Structure 1
Amino acid sequence: MHHATSATLLPQSEELTRHHRDAAQPRLVHTQFGYILAGNLPEFSHGNSAVSLFCRDCKTDLNSTMKQFWQSESVPQEFTEHESEKVQCEEHFQKTVKLENKQFEVSIPLKVPIYDINNYIGDSLSLALKRFLNLEKKLHNDPSLFKEYKSFIDEYIDLGHASSVDISQYDLNKDPIYFIPHHAVLKPDAVSTKLRVVMDAGMKGSNKMSLNDLLLTGPVIQADMFDILHTSHKWCANNSAILSDIPTEKQQHSDELEFQKEIKTLGLKFNVNTDSFQFAPMLEQPATTKRQILSFISQFFDLLGLAGPLFVQAKEIMQSLWTSKVGWDSAPPPEILTKWQEFYSSLTRMQPLTIKRNVCLDNQTNAELVGFSDSSAKAYGCAIYLRATDKNGKISMSLISSKPRITPLNSNLSMPRLELNAALLLAKTMARVYDSLKDELQIQNVYIHSDSQVVLAWLKTNPIKLNAYVANRIKLMQQLTNNYLWSYIKTDQNPADCLSRGVSPCDLMQHPLWFNGPKFMLDPDYKFTEFNYEAVKCNLPEVKVVSGELNEGGPVCAASLKVNNVVGNIITKYSSISKAQRVLAYVQRFISNLKKTRSEQIKCNYLTYSELNQALLLIIKHEQMKYFSSDIKRLQEGKQTESSLKGLNPFLDADGLLRVGGRLQHSALPYAQKHQIILPNDSYVTQLIVRNEHVKLLP
């Protein structure tokens, strides 16, 4: 805006002026379209100043973010390929890595042929040049940043990591070239490197594809914080002489910190002198509004879960507060406020929690991991302990990790399903902890416990026989814990009960189970035994009733044919797939109606899409079992197929159907197109399906 004296943004309501005495300033006004800026703009001095009004729509869904605190355990939606991109990337690295001129070189792990890059990415020069000009402008405006940036680039070139290239020698329309922009990332508080230059191969070209999009995804080689806290730390010691040969930049704030002080680690504190973690809440003025309480609770962060039971109570309050629908700056309902005040009062009385970092014994001869899971209507969780034995037979058990979860709102999950989610969480966490420690310790055995006999019986059941919700989770648990021993533990001896029910802050440090597990497991003669599920398998819930089979005590029909025989007879009787499909759908409806009351029975005189689709899938499943039975059996056992199907990377979906694997799982294609059902080449059903599609497509 050039040469402006004053302006008005309408409307300027009497109500707005009444609430804000300074009517000369613009205000936010709420309208049916949302908030707008309205009022008078002050006078501007003459000149070439520009006035801009910028509005940004925030896409963050706070409601969804909050709900993540109490989502139930899920299973991956994508299947695991036998030959993943990570494996391909590693093989590519091994084949192409070489040492030349004292430098290692490896070719870029592309998913596509190198000559085809331009067709995928398009023009990258103009976009990279635009970014460079913006960076240049930023550097000119900040001499200090320019000096550091130039120093980095000069060093980069001196080290031989980069060199000048004459791009006029290349045909940018044909040659496989991608221009990578770079930018600065500043960390003024960093002890060593305050400026880091990032090469951004994620910049998308004119075809909305980047170089990163075309690269194979390799394995994660950096340890994350969860793994680091279980194994090692940055260089620090309780004896300063030990650090005399360690470079200053490798020490943990050595220039700024005396060893009597504590190093803070993500909400926990690490005391160098005692080599222990400590947890002591930083209490401020008591929070009284929804905003203050949620802000206070959100500051709790315990990555290893050493104070897990405290967070259960805090998250329960958070969930209740969130569902109360009170305003952000309003006081919670009386019952929630009372619960919060009791929790806060207990925090003020709580003694600092002190947990040893090094839980191994001197002269340790044996190390085992022992895990527990439990659930209640309010919460569920798991706790994992290291059970160590020294050369004298002395045993110790120490908490090394836990994970608490709050039961989802309005989930209507049965107690066995809640216990299943707790056991699944334990399986995931145990696999993670084992992978973190296996290179540091020689772990001889892993034992995992649940106080739910139903869940333990499910683990001994073929997932195909279970309903989908349970089957998907059991299958994953069986894969994760294939080499572990599942055992039963009584509820009153289960440390994970602290997570499902919560423990008052002032009672946690002295709790008999939480930090050291059940005392009877300290007995050198104690033997871990596998759960015997024979007593509960007869009345096991969530077991499928296979079509054609009836519940015990139900109506008795004079039908002795097995389902496979029924399907096979229908297939051979008709020369049309649609006819066979309709007949089988009516048979399935008849069987289904036998199990229902009259009011529940389906009585319409037409077949629904769902009924027809289920019939077709049953026909296809029959054919797959007929032609691919050995492949299906191997996949059910978690093994790779060895037949001609191996090249298709086949897998079994939730319905037990063989589908094509491959590497389209990250594409935007529908599931049925990414993972097509496999049909036998010589099957009569395949011929009928092809013939039917051919007829439908005829003009």
Structure 2
Amino acid sequence: MYTDNWLSGADSVVEASEKFCKARSNLADASMDLTKLVSNSLLITSKSHDQFLVSGDEPNTVLGLKWCNSQDTFSFVAINPDTSVEIASTKRSILSVIAKIFDPLGLISPFVMYGKILFQELWKLNVSWDEEMPSDLKSKFQKWLLSSQCLKSFHVNRCYFPELSWGELCNVKLHGFGDASEKGYGACVYLRVTLEDNSSKVSLVASKSRVAPIKTVTLPRLELMGALLCSRLVDFVKTSLKLDSNTQVVCWTDSTIALSWIQGETSKKDVFVSNRVRDILELTPKNCWQHCRSKDNLADLITCGLLADKLVDNSMWLFGPSMLTNTPCHHKEGSTLVSDTKETSTKGTVCLSVQGEPESPFIDLNKYSDLSKALRVTAYVLRFINNCRNVKNKLKGSITTEEIDLAKLKMIYLIQREELSDEIKTLMNKPIPQVSKLSKLDPFIDDKGLLRIKGRLKFSDLDYDTKHPVIIPKGPLAKLLIRF
């Protein structure tokens, strides 16, 4: 019961008719009469139901959503262009227009996100609530409002697979997508079923969108926030649809950095990253996270926003990318960490090779008398490498503390490869001999390829770096550290 409406459903026409009769009888005992009947099947209306039948194709409101019962689809109300375009000139009026859009399932979240991003841009200009907005933003808002007229023709099936019966469905899976941009981050969840002939069908279930914080956050961290939003939405959908606990869940991201965080060791990350990775892993298993191409990540439509005409013409938004509809999927599900996950801008998750010829530092530390300056130069070099490899996700702005920390790890890694190459090669196969100068330190190679001290502190509750200090060879880096 919702206010004065009773909402229910059934798997057959007979069961639905019986439910209506029983509900009418029970409510009549409490002197409450059902006065109208709306259904997606006219077959349940027998002669005794004629007086309650609501006819016509006009949409009915169900929990705030517009439902056209004859087509069994959800629809959306376009923003009135005659009034909204005229009043959309101040921050107050724009917020009023955005608040009128009701989309609890996120079926048009790319369109809503477009308006949210514009509103945040207006907010950053620090204009007052009733001050006239700049002309360029005003024209963008009006373009967004006018595009909403295309929503009149946008209908979403209430039933995920209306042409199928439950008996035809098997191998039900949930696929979640998370993504982020400098403007915002979002997530969407799709239901994928395999039919008896091994073909597949996919349908959008729900999506969520968030604008990026006004305080600048690095893109890898925003990608991680998108992954967290995805895990929460997947868990919500799985619970709401009452799916079996064994239902397979696959979560996708196109960020190799965020994926390496999720599938790495939480204890070696900073607080921001480790807290969000912990929350993600409480909701979704580590091995369900996979890498996908950017063009297959439909959450990308949310992060930048879309005008309504673009959204209506995008069939993939409702029916999923080709990687899900094709059988078999282009990507292997359930595999472990994707290859080529190079961490170039984060703390504690850098993937470094320990094979091949010894490497040398790419800056001459003898030319520097200050450790901070040497680290900043190294960080800029690493950023340049990252931007060459990831053209779509370039790092910009001032050097962050995460990049400085990564530069320090990379610097130590290269110095160790130059000065302690023999010990490292030996440790890869067997313990180092007693004649080595490092034998008393009981050294080992960690998962980032760094040489560390084992020792009895490993049984303590101290943090990882304190329990297992990095070994710094004698040389210019050691001098810089001591001076620092």
For residues 595-615 of structure 1, give each alpha carbon's deviation from its aligned partner in whole angstroms, at most 9, with x where no partner exists.
7996x9886xxxxxxxxxxxx
Q: Please point out which of 305, 308, 311 is paired with 1:505.
A: 308
2:232 pairs with 415, 425, 428, which one?
428
How big is each residue's C-alpha offset from its partner over 1:101-134, in whole Å with a ceiling of 9 and x where there is no partner? xxxxxxxxxxxxxxxxxxxxxxxxxxxxxxxxxx
Is 1:305 the counterpart of 2:81 in the alignment?
Answer: no
Supply the distance in 1 between the matched residues of 2:70 and 2:308 (Cα, whole angstroms): 25
Matched, 1:543 2:316: no
In 2: Cα distance, 1:514 partner to 1:252 partner: 38
SS of residue paired to 1:291: helix
> Is this contact kept in 1: 2:36–2:54, CA < 8 A?
no
The whole-number CA distance in structure 1 between the counterparts of 2:109 and 2:33 is 32
Cα offset, 1:460, TM superposition: 2.0
**Contact 1:493–1:513 (Cα < 8 Å) also in 2:** no
Q: Matched residue of 1:370: which SS?
A: strand
CA distance in 2, matches of 1:420, 1:563: 32
Structure 2 match to 1:528 = 332
Structure 2 distance, partners of 1:483, 1:277, is: 35
| Paired residue type of 1:490 | R
478-487 or 464-473, which deviates more: 478-487
1:246 to 15, 20, 23: 23
5+ long unaligned stretches in structure 2: 38-50, 350-404, 421-436, 442-451, 461-465
Shift of 1:435: 1.4
1:618-668 Cα shifts (integer Å, max 9, x gaps): xxxxxxxxxxxxxxxxxxxxxxxxxxxxxxxxxxxxxxxxxxxxxxxxxxx
- Counterpart residue identity of residue 70, structure 2: N
* Corresponding position: 1:234 with 2:7: yes
- 1:390 to partner: Cα distance: 2.6
Q: Once superposed, what is the RMSD of the aligned Cα atoms?
A: 4.1
Q: Runs in 1 of length 4+ with deviation above 4 angstroms? A: 236-242, 248-257, 537-540, 544-550, 554-560, 594-598, 600-603
1:467 aligns to what?
270
Query: What is the CA–CA distance in structure 2 between the aligned matches of 1:358 and 1:442, rounded to whole Å?
Result: 22
Instruction: Report the TM-score when normalising by structure 2.
Output: 0.63
Which residue pairs with 2:199 in the alignment? 394
**Counterpart position of 2:288:** 485
8 A contact 1:324–1:332 mirrored in 2 = no
What is the rounded CA distance, in whole Å, between the counterparts of 2:336 and 2:35 in structure 1?
47
Structure 1 position 402, deviation (Å)? 0.5
Note if contact 2:174-2:249 (Cα within 8 Å) is conserved in structure 1.
yes
Shift of residue 387, structure 1, vs aligned partner: 0.7
Tell me how far apart the structure 2 counterparts of residues 508 and 596 of structure 1 sit (CA, whole Å). Answer: 57
CA distance in 2, matches of 1:499, 1:596: 48
For the 8 Å contact 2:150–2:312, the answer to whether it is kept is no
Instruction: Specify the alignment match of 1:381 in structure 2.
Output: 186
- Tell whether the 8 Å contact from 2:179 to 2:303 is kept in structure 1 after alignment: yes
Q: Which residue in the other structure is 1:273 paired with?
A: 70
Output the CA distance in 2 between the equivalents of 1:369 and 1:567: 44
Shift of 1:494: 1.5
Q: 2:425 is matched with which residue?
A: none
Secondary structure of 1:387's aligned partner: strand
Q: Distance in 2 between matches of 1:379 and 1:449?
A: 17
Alignment of 1:636-651 (within 5 A): none
Residue 262 of structure 1 aligns with an amino acid whose one-letter code is P
Secondary structure (helix, strand or coil) at the match of 2:169 reads strand
The TM-score normalised by the length of structure 1 is 0.45
Matched, 1:354 2:155: yes
Q: 1:267–1:301: 8 Å Cα contact kept in structure 2?
A: yes
Give the total of aligned pairs. Answer: 356
Letter in 2 for 1:419: E
For the residues of structure 2 that align with 1:532 and 1:302, how far apart are their CA atoms?
Answer: 35
- Indicate if the aligned counterparts of 1:259 and 1:272 stay in contact, CA closer than 8 A: no
Query: Which whole-Å CA distance do the structure 2 matches of 1:332 and 1:419 have between them?
Result: 31
Equivalent pair of 1:381/1:500 in contact (CA under 8 Å): yes
- The 2-side partners of 1:251 and 1:519 are apart by 46
1:404 positional shift: 1.0
**Contact 2:185–2:211 at 8 Å: present in 1 too?**
yes
Cα distance, 1:427 vs structure 2? 0.8
Q: Does 1:364 align with 2:168?
A: yes
Q: Does 1:317 align with 2:207?
A: no
Could you tell me how far 1:549 is from its partner in structure 2? 11
Counterpart in the other structure of 1:191 = 4
Q: How far did 1:551 drift?
A: 2.2
- Do the aligned partners of residues 332 and 602 (structure 1) sit closer, same or farther apart at CA in structure 2, a change above 3 Å counting? farther
CA distance in 1, matches of 2:483, 2:139: 51
- Write the distance in 1 (CA, Å) between the matches of 2:101 and 2:211: 15
Q: Which has the higher helix share?
A: 2
Which residue matches 1:552? Answer: 413
Runs of 5+ unmatched residues, structure 1: 1-188, 193-232, 572-583, 604-699
Q: Does structure 1 conserve the Cα–Cα contact (< 8 Å) formed by 2:256 and 2:342?
A: no
Measured in 2, the distance between the counterparts of 1:430 and 1:449 equals 11
Identity %: 25
Mapped to 2, the partners of 1:386 and 1:396 lie a distance apart of 8
- Residues 75-474 of structure 1 aligned to structure 2 (within 5 Å): 190-191=3-4, 234-235=7-8, 243-247=20-24, 254=37, 258-260=54-56, 261-283=58-80, 285=83, 286=85, 287-360=88-161, 361-362=164-165, 363-366=167-170, 367-411=172-216, 413-439=217-243, 444-474=247-277
Using a 3 Å threshold, how does the CA distance of structure 1 residues 429 and 329 change in structure 2: closer, same or farther?
A: same
- Structure 1 residues 602 and 293: CA distance shift in structure 2, 3 A: farther
Compared CA separation, residues 485 and 601, structure 1 to 2 (3 A): same
Contact 1:271 1:277 in 2 (8 A): yes
Q: Is the 8 Å Cα contact of residues 257 and 343 (structure 2) preserved in structure 1?
A: no
